[in-house]
Structure formats: structure tokens, C-alpha cells
Amino acid sequence: MDRMQQVVGRARAAFNSGRSRALEFRMQQLKALKQMVQEKEKVILAAIRADLHKSEPNAYCHEILSLLGELALAMDKLKSWAAPQPVKKNLLTMRDEAYVFPEPLGVVLIIGAWNYPFALIIQPLIGAIAAGNAVVVKPSEISWNTSQLLADLLPQYLDQELYPVVTGGVSETTELLTQRFDHILYTGNSTVGKIVMAAAAKYLTPVTLELGGKSPCYIDTDCDLAVACRRITWGKYMNCGQTCIAPDYILCNPSIQSSVVENIKAALQEFYGEDVKSSPDYERIINKRHFRRILGLMEGQTIAHGGEVDEASCFIAPTILTDVSPESKVMEEEIFGPVLPIVTVNNVDEAIEFINRREKPLALYVFSNSKKLIKRVISETSSGGVTGNDVIMHYLLSTLPFGGVGKSGMGAYHGKHSFETFSHHRSCLIKDLKMESTNKLRYPPGSLKKVNWAKFFLLKRFNRGRVGLVVLVLLGIVAALVLKTVYY
């Protein structure tokens, strides 16, 4: 038996023992996870800094703060989330117990990403634990320091059999994907997403794929450009542009292009000062391979601002490209770096058409003083999520599901949506062995009279409230007595 088979086998045996199903156990594990995040905050921040050159305040805000919020929410709501949910009944089932019961899926696999290497593992893990699953955790090998830290910390705080951590690169992940799981959540690019989905198909394993794409940002001429560009600048250049829902490119009228550039430059000055490279708030590209990939996207483009690079430190300055052709290389793939192309369109109609000609993005942003225009863009396009007059902020609201559509992914999580993603919603109907006369409707031999009674029982609708409920009960009793008289 190879290593991956042993890891998954132990996790499945632990799940089959039933201990992860108890709400008390789930709560204990969530509390332990919170304790880990709080007690090991400094070493977590240090690992993130080593991987991404991220300052402590930024790392805390980007990777820890939201997790503490998710943990607090899960622990507060777990009992209600896991409770059976009663459903409406019809005349035939009015005496029965009918409910939806959330049950754990089993052994799930979470494959994290390197750009937010701690949060993109722990956040879905919270939902998977809350739902009562065993979880195999696979951090990204690209963010090596955080990956090793997770492998060290999680076994110290969580049940080691139920929540094992697997480290390693492509070969280890490939071997892991040969095992049978009950759900796989993967965060990363669409190329690997297809590999994950193909491996899952062998066992008909459901998947949640958090991918990416080119998230457009339309700026209307009727807009406060200073405010809009400050918010865009924050979202685009945080984490050195390595955010899956960062604005990938701007669409705007040619008449405001130069003003957009000037306002973004002013925001960059405000955020990072004269020397961006020395700013503690500006991160670095994760490695030289991605550094060179981003440089390749900039070739032949008009650089309106930035463009300075240093390969030794994987530094690329915040860069703005103007008059970008829709057919250029930089518009063919997700940039995932601090390069912001501006493509000009004459109006919102052209912007909508431009967006709809391309793959559905993970996020879409619209800036305008007109909410009517914003809602028009929402109604006439498709994307994983939308924020109007800001960027990224929809991700931070746990009541909104976070996920993609089409090529940008499938499935969603965050908050209660994480619990639901990692749960099977089991339909439950419990009857008794009385009032057998009502069942004559479904027993042979058939007749037109039985069909008419079935229509009454199954198709009749009543208004809500006490009066409707009383009528429903009385009719049920009368119908049962009539059926008993007719068929017995």
C-alpha cells in the first residue's frame, strides 16, 4: 500500500468510526483551529512573509482576520446549520415527519493555492470540519514556507487521523488524485482544474473548482474618478496583483483614459510613496517563472506608468498599459500580476458586448453614479460575483457565496455556503403504519376515481396561516374517512 493510499485509508477509517459526526467533536476541532491561529499568529505571518514578502499588517488582514470571522460564525451557527430543516407537506403527508438532514459527505480533499497560502486552506477547512467530514489537506508547494508550517501545525491541534496534511509537488498531487474522495475543492488555474475534474470523474466525485480568469472593470464617464481609481488601485496591486478576483483590465471611454491613469498614479503615490520597491506594503511575485511570464505579457505594450523590474528580487513595479488592443497577448490570459491594461470602449453597450464575447470571469466590477447602469451590466452579463463601485469586497461578505461560473469555476463556499458545500442534504420522510386507507390511491388496481382523488391530495393549494392550516387538517380527515368508506 503506497503512502497516499495509507493517508486516505486512515482518514476514511477515522470517518467511519463516527467521531467526526458529533457536534461536540466538530465544535472542539473548530475551537482548536481558532486556538492554533491565535497562538501561532507570529509564525504564520513570518511564513507568509517568507513566501510573498508581505508585511505583518497586510498578512494579518489578508489571511487571518477573515478566518477568525469565519470560525466565530461557524461556532455560533453550527447547531442551527446541522439541525434537520422541516419542509412543507401536502395532504398525503400532513401527519408525517418531513425534513432535510445535512450529513457529512465523508473524506474530502482540499487543494490550496499559493497566492493566499494560509487562508485558502483554512477557510474551506472550517466548513468541511463544521459539516463533519474527514479532510485531507494539500497546501501548494509553491508557497513552500507556509506549506511546511501547515504540515507542522495542523497535527498539533487537530485530530491527526481525520485531518492529515500532504506536502509535495506535482507528483504527490497526481498520486493523491488517484485516490477516491467524496468531494474535492481545488483553488488554482483552469489547466490544473481540468486535471482535478478528470481525476474526480473516475469515481463520480463532486468538485468545487475555484479558478479565475480575466475580471473586467468598467468605469462609466459619470463617475467620481478619484474615488473609483483609488479603490481599483487598492484591489489591483494588493498582493502584487496575485489575487484571483483582482481587476484584470479596465474598460473605459477614450475621453477619460488619461484621467484614469493620472488618478491611479496618484493613488499609487498615496499607498506606496515615491519608492515602491522599498515600501513595506508592496509584495513580490512568487517566483522567477511567474516573473518571466508577466514580463512576456508586457512585451510590445505602451507603458503609461511603471514597468520597472528586478528579477533578483522578483519585483515588478505597479504598471499601467494604455490603448491596449483586445487581441494583444496581455488580453489572452489572466495576468495575475501588477500590470493593468486599459482597453477603450465608447459606451456601456460596447463594454457589455466586450465582456460577453469572452469567458465568464470570476468577478466583475462596475463604477458609475447610476445604479441603474450598474444593475443593467449585472443583468446583461454573467460572472462568479459582482461588486458595484468597489472591488473585491463581495468576497469579504460571508453571507454571499464565493465561486465562479463557466471557465472561472463551479461551486461556492464561505460562511454557511461552505457548510452546505461539504454536506449532503438528505431528504427524510418518516411515516407511521396507520391510516392505511389513504394509501389505496397508489395501490392497484387503478381507476379514474383514484386519479381524481390523487389530484385533490397532490395539487390542492391553500393560503398560508392558521385558517389555511385548519382547512388543510379538516380536509385531510374528511378525505381519509371518505377513502376508508369507499375502498374498505
Active site residues per annotation? 210, 244
Nearest Cα neighbor of 115 from 284, 2, 229, 1 is 284
Q: How many Cα atoms within 13 Å fall on the side-chain side of residue 468?
A: 9
Cα–Cα separations (whole angstroms), residue 325 to 45, 138, 317, 332, 384:
40, 39, 22, 11, 25
Whether 24 and 76 have beta carbons less than 8 Å apart is answered as no
* Grid cell for residue 269: 503615490
CB atoms within 10 A of CB 202: 10
Please list, in sequence order, all residues whose beta carbon lies within 8 angstroms of the beta carbon of residue 6, skipping any fewer than 6 positions away. none
**Is residue 2 packed enough to be buried (19+ CB in 10 Å), middle (13-18) or exposed (0-12)?**
exposed
Cα–Cα separations (whole angstroms), residue 482 to 250, 442, 450, 454, 458:
70, 16, 12, 13, 16
- Provide the 8-state DSSP code for 402: B
Please list, in sequence order, all residues whose beta carbon lies within 8 angstroms of the beta carbon of residue 321, skipping any fewer than 6 positions away. 298, 301, 302, 303, 304, 330, 339, 340, 341, 342
Give the helix ranges, DSSP H, for 53-206. Answer: 56-59, 65-82, 119-130, 144-157, 170-176, 190-201
Cα–Cα separations (whole angstroms), residue 20 to 24, 163, 379:
9, 10, 42
Amino acid, res. 145: N
Whether 64 and 37 have beta carbons less than 8 Å apart is answered as yes
Amino acid, res. 370: S
Cis preceding-peptide flag for 318 (omega within 30 of 0): no
Are β-strands 309-310 and 216-219 bridged in parallel, bridged antiparallel, or unpaired? unpaired
Dihedral, CA atoms, 442, 446, 450, 452, nearest 10 degrees? 120
Nearest Cα neighbor of 99 from 425, 346, 369, 407 is 425
Alpha-carbon torsion (457, 463, 464, 465), positive or negative: negative
Nearest Cα neighbor of 81 from 131, 129, 32, 34 is 131
Whether 428 and 84 have beta carbons less than 8 Å apart is answered as yes
